[in-house]
Structure 1
Amino acid sequence: MKETRSTMDRRTALQTTIGAATLAVAGCLSNDPDDADFRIGGPWKPSRDPLDGGSQIRRLGITEALVGVDYDANPTPELATEWERLDEYRWEFALREDVPFHDGESLDAAAAVESLRRTADASAFADVPIDTIEAVDEGTVAVETETPFTPLPAHLSRNEAVLLSPEAIDGDGSVTEPVSTGPFAVDTFQPGTELRAVRNDDYYGERPEIETVRYEVVDDDQTRRMKLENGELEMARILPHEMVSALESTDGIDVYTPEIPRIRFLTFDTQSEPFDDVRVRWAVDHAIDRSTITERILNDIDDPAAGPFSPELTEWANPNLETDRYDPDRARSLLSEADWTVDGGGGVRTRGGDELAVDVFTFDARSLPLIAEVLQDQLATVGIDLDVTVMEYSTMVDRVGQDSFDSYLTSWGTLWYPDPDRLSDMFHSEAASLHHGYENERVDTLLEEARELGEREARRERYYEVQSIVREDAPITVLTSYSNVVATASGVSGYEPHPTESRYGLESITLEES
């Protein structure tokens, strides 16, 4: 373990070492967009700080964590070669040897501890009960939890838990640049616009053939498609499902539509009218024809979904949840039971002189506005007037987090980290990030027990029960599964879509000579 570190100003040292490494690897990139070997267009804006939206720098192969996620959506060694649970509370992680950060600093236990402590202190990890993080020796990190916590390795695979060079973390805890250990290193960063990266020739693992990468923020779906077709991109990500047929018939384009652990769903405010009444939530659930949504909007690429997890992707999915719940007559009966009635001519239901008019908020991505329009028509057939408002995602989250609302239509990755503890983020009365106000003591108990148990079957039984209870209580209504639509130039080889979207696998991609 190093006894001393350079006393040079961190920012100066960082810029010097990265600049030298960049010149050695690929030469200085120009401002010409065609200067990069591999160009990616996507809608999401990258961030320098892994604690503030660090998904893109992870996907681009810049940052790495102790734990990775394999292609079966399970925790796998990354910067830790192995880990062991010594007792209910204490875990030890053995670090990979001879791993340099992009700035030349060595990865050792002291560096890992400094980075992980920053993660553990962050709000993103507020519900992960880490007590202490310490270096056992130069190559071993110990983590102790306040309570028994089986999903710890899965949480340490999250984007917030990537390891950064100590020189990249300022004294106030801020991050100058995302200097980590991945197969690519940041060259230039224009916030909200683009990120350019160069190959890390000192990478310990598979050495990429691609020398330079440019990720461009392209908000508009049609523009991403046009840039790909015009040869301005090698990869266009998160394209609409309605583009798939046209893309598949376009020469020089390959299209990928892998199902991933993600769902589209409605979230209800269970604390305010009308969705404080479970009968109204059930009515919405029965009024929705999910097959029509998948056929008309999603080109049958996605399927109707029953719960948070897909049985096709993970054993954590309760296989007994009913998928086909479309029953508009049952929806009408439920609304009548809840005293929402219609006059002889039909139309919007009323109760006490108030119309059953509700709002749904959503954002312009993942075909959600188009789905909202279909929901509008389907709910109208049972007497619910649905008003759709499309806004920025961050605006929507702020809105539903501050005041009462009716519902919002969104999409979540349900194995964003590879463990069903993700259900705590969705349904625990105190830990949930969804703004439904749902409280169920049995659900809380099951989630808390499942976190502590080490035996997989016992955990699975509890998560199955949680899914059954939530299906009945309906704080959310799950609509469809989700498949990413990614298109590449035909000259791109070796691309394998990752099931949890955590990496693009650029180190495995090769390009045919043009």
Structure 2
Amino acid sequence: MPPRTLVGALRPLALAVSLLAPWPALAAPGGSFDIVAPFEIGGPDPSLSGFLFQRMQVGETLLEVDREGRPQPGLATSWSVSADGLVWTLPIREGVRFHDGTALTAENAAAALRFARAKPGVLERARIESVAAEGKAVVIRLAEPFAPLAALLAHASTIILAPASYGPDGTATKVLGTGPYRLTRLEAPQRMAVEAFDDYWGGKPAIREATYLAAGRGETRTLMAESGDADLAFQLDPPSIARLKANGAVEVMKVPLPRIMQIKLNAGLPPFDTAEGRLALSESIQRAGLASALLRAPGTGATQLFPPSVEAWHDPDLAPLATDPERARARLEALGWAPGADGILAKDGKPLRLKLLTYADRPELPLIATALQDQFRQVGLDVEVSVTNSSSIPAGHQDGTLQLALAARNYSLVPDPFVTLLGDFREGGSDWGSMNWNDPAFHAATKALLASTDPAEQTRLRREIAAILQRDLPVVPVVWYEQTAAVTKAVEGAAIDPFERSFGLSKMAWKP
């Protein structure tokens, strides 16, 4: 087989050859397994890039999750919680070694968690008083109960690294994990290489070497999959999926995720300062058409915040979000917005002209935004679409200038969606969640759920929270998300992790 040429695949997109030259030619099937995805590497510290070290199976966490999001043992063999919910005890697995040969102990696991806790991240969500080693277990003491702590301990920012990984200030300067692969090369922000770690406690993986390349453009990833320069191309746009399905050398995989394309809106801005105004915006959206025509994924129009695949948070008894442009216009007119000569609604002489921000990191977002622009126009909203950097959305939230934004929100950043909900809809709002919206009943229900240990009561509270979000629409669901990837047919065992925690390297093998 002729050698694969990475530069040749990228040349049509005018990427710099000098960027790729220092790396050796990629190996043929049976050698290195090469992955391309849009995520840049922020550096060696888990607070910056733990999600990539977790996906490449370099670093591991105390707890894991199964494909339904239920907590499972990881570097801790089990966990127990005191009757008052304030003390969590996690016995540490014996016989585990870091990639520098150091043995995993309760002491160095607790130290790694303390380093993680000292940085901005998910551990801030729980009111942790202390993290300490007691015998062969890590013991976490809380100031108040936090039922989803298990999910925080599975988050990528809490991966456990060897003591030699950390500098004097507690920031990781090396990535010495416990996973089935050890890091052999790291060149932030674009690439890394790993090789199998033969002393891994869970057994030797069949694929011995792998590389990762960050490529932000969807066309780049598609070309690499087509040409064989990537064995796994992650996150594809709809036109690329259709093209790659015709390629006999790759298989296109797809799985629903707890991720949604949603509209973040300023609930302090008329007419969205009322639930009626927000509902009118929702009723103007033709979700089924967007899902079928643009995303080529019929059935993914978001009738509520969470899709059926997130069973704990999807309520089949909720009245679904509907499309009704005429009713939307009537709601807005009842709020005092009357159509002008150009059809644009106006109130007190001010036309309803808005700016919708979105970004191109996810190639489907600008497509959806343009279609929404037309749908909003049909009910009298004049919306300008601005495709900008994703950072413009939190910046607009912080300075109060944001009006509308279309974003892809991942509610499984922590495996339990409740943790993300807590942050997104907290009092005062958040960068990617609500803006100028507060509901006392919502906050009371979330507080009760945090402390509840009764499964029936937890279900009731989740349904109550879902109903409030459906009724009040602090964000407007548009389309549920499906993750896609193209993988070479030269391997077996490939699958997409619905919680996006792993590329699945250790479960794959080259076909004979």
Q: TM-score, normalised by structure 2?
A: 0.91
Look up the match of 1:14. none
Look up the match of 1:452. 451
Look up the match of 2:11. none
Look up the match of 1:234. 231
SS at match of 1:495: coil
1 CA distance for matches of 2:415 and 2:367?
30
Deviations 1:375-401 (A, max 9, x none): 001000000011111112233333333
Residues 253 and 495, structure 2, Cα contact 8 Å, conserved in 1? no
Deviations 1:65-108 (A, max 9, x none): 00111122211111111111123201100111110111111110
Q: Which amino acid aligns with 2:281?
A: V
Look up the match of 2:468. 469
2 CA distance for matches of 1:301 and 1:119?
41
1 CA distance for matches of 2:363 and 2:93?
38
* Residue of 217, 220, 224 corresponding to 1:220: 217
Residue 306 of structure 1, CA deviation: 2.5
Residues 116 and 133, structure 1, Cα contact 8 Å, conserved in 2? yes
Residue 346 of structure 1, CA deviation: 5.0
Q: Which amino acid aligns with 1:34?
A: L
2 CA distance for matches of 1:455 and 1:485?
37
Residues 345 and 380, structure 2, Cα contact 8 Å, conserved in 1? yes
Unpaired segments ≥5 residues, structure 1: 1-29
Distance 1:490 1:176, change over 3 A: same
1 CA distance for matches of 2:470 and 2:364?
24
Look up the match of 1:32. 24
Residue 301 of structure 1, CA deviation: 5.1
Look up the match of 1:46. 41
Residues 282 and 321, structure 2, Cα contact 8 Å, conserved in 1? no
Residue 331 of structure 1, CA deviation: 0.3
* Residue of 44, 53, 66 corresponding to 1:57: 53
Distance 1:313 1:443, change over 3 A: closer
Look up the match of 1:79. 75
Deviations 1:431-483 (A, max 9, x none): 74525121111101110110111112211211111111121111110011111
Residues 428 and 443, structure 1, Cα contact 8 Å, conserved in 2? no
Q: Which amino acid aligns with 1:287?
A: S
Residues 363 and 396, structure 1, Cα contact 8 Å, conserved in 2? no
1:160 correspondence with 2:152: no
2 CA distance for matches of 1:261 and 1:302?
15
Look up the match of 1:487. 486
Distance 1:185 1:395, change over 3 A: farther
Look up the match of 1:17. none
Indicate the larger mover: 389-398 or 236-245.
389-398
Look up the match of 2:371. 374
Look up the match of 2:442. 443
Distance 1:512 1:70, change over 3 A: same
2 CA distance for matches of 1:208 and 1:237?
21
Residues 434 and 475, structure 2, Cα contact 8 Å, conserved in 1? no
1 CA distance for matches of 2:111 and 2:93?
17
2 CA distance for matches of 1:327 and 1:319?
21
Deviations 1:209-235 (A, max 9, x none): 111111001111111111111111101
Residues 259 and 483, structure 1, Cα contact 8 Å, conserved in 2? yes
Q: Which amino acid aligns with 1:351?
A: K
Look up the match of 1:136. 134
Look up the match of 1:105. 102
Residue 415 of structure 1, CA deviation: 2.6
1:191 correspondence with 2:175: no
1:428 correspondence with 2:420: no
Deviations 1:216-257 (A, max 9, x none): 011111111111111111010000123222211211110001
1 CA distance for matches of 2:114 and 2:429?
21
* Residue of 294, 303, 309 corresponding to 2:300: 303
Q: Which amino acid aligns with 2:124?
A: A
2 CA distance for matches of 1:119 and 1:306?
37
Look up the match of 2:354. 358
Look up the match of 1:69. 65
1 CA distance for matches of 2:398 and 2:103?
42
Look up the match of 1:205. 202
Q: How many residues align?
A: 483
2 CA distance for matches of 1:156 and 1:207?
25
Q: Which amino acid aligns with 1:32?
A: P
Look up the match of 2:15. none
1 CA distance for matches of 2:132 and 2:384?
53
1 CA distance for matches of 2:155 and 2:303?
26
Q: How does 1:315-354 map to 2 (within 5 A)?
A: 315-343=312-340, 345=341, 347-354=343-350
Residues 242 and 297, structure 1, Cα contact 8 Å, conserved in 2? no
SS at match of 1:264: strand
Residues 352 and 381, structure 2, Cα contact 8 Å, conserved in 1? yes
1 CA distance for matches of 2:440 and 2:430?
14
Distance 1:307 1:389, change over 3 A: same
Look up the match of 1:3. none
Residue 315 of structure 1, CA deviation: 2.6
1:395 correspondence with 2:392: yes
2 CA distance for matches of 1:398 and 1:435?
14
Deviations 1:2-31 (A, max 9, x none): xxxxxxxxxxxxxxxxxxxxxxxxxxxx82
Q: Which amino acid aligns with 1:500?
A: F
Residues 428 and 436, structure 2, Cα contact 8 Å, conserved in 1? no
Look up the match of 1:509. 508
Residues 222 and 233, structure 2, Cα contact 8 Å, conserved in 1? yes
Distance 1:157 1:301, change over 3 A: farther
Unpaired segments ≥5 residues, structure 2: 1-21
2 CA distance for matches of 1:431 and 1:391?
22
1 CA distance for matches of 2:443 and 2:25?
51
SS at match of 2:344: coil
1:126 correspondence with 2:124: yes
Residues 413 and 500, structure 1, Cα contact 8 Å, conserved in 2? no
Residues 119 and 161, structure 1, Cα contact 8 Å, conserved in 2? yes
Residues 397 and 430, structure 2, Cα contact 8 Å, conserved in 1? no
Aligned sequence identity (%): 26
SS at match of 2:318: coil
Residues 275 and 281, structure 1, Cα contact 8 Å, conserved in 2? yes
Residues 428 and 437, structure 2, Cα contact 8 Å, conserved in 1? no
Distance 1:301 1:223, change over 3 A: farther
Q: Which amino acid aligns with 1:261?
A: P
Residues 62 and 184, structure 1, Cα contact 8 Å, conserved in 2? yes
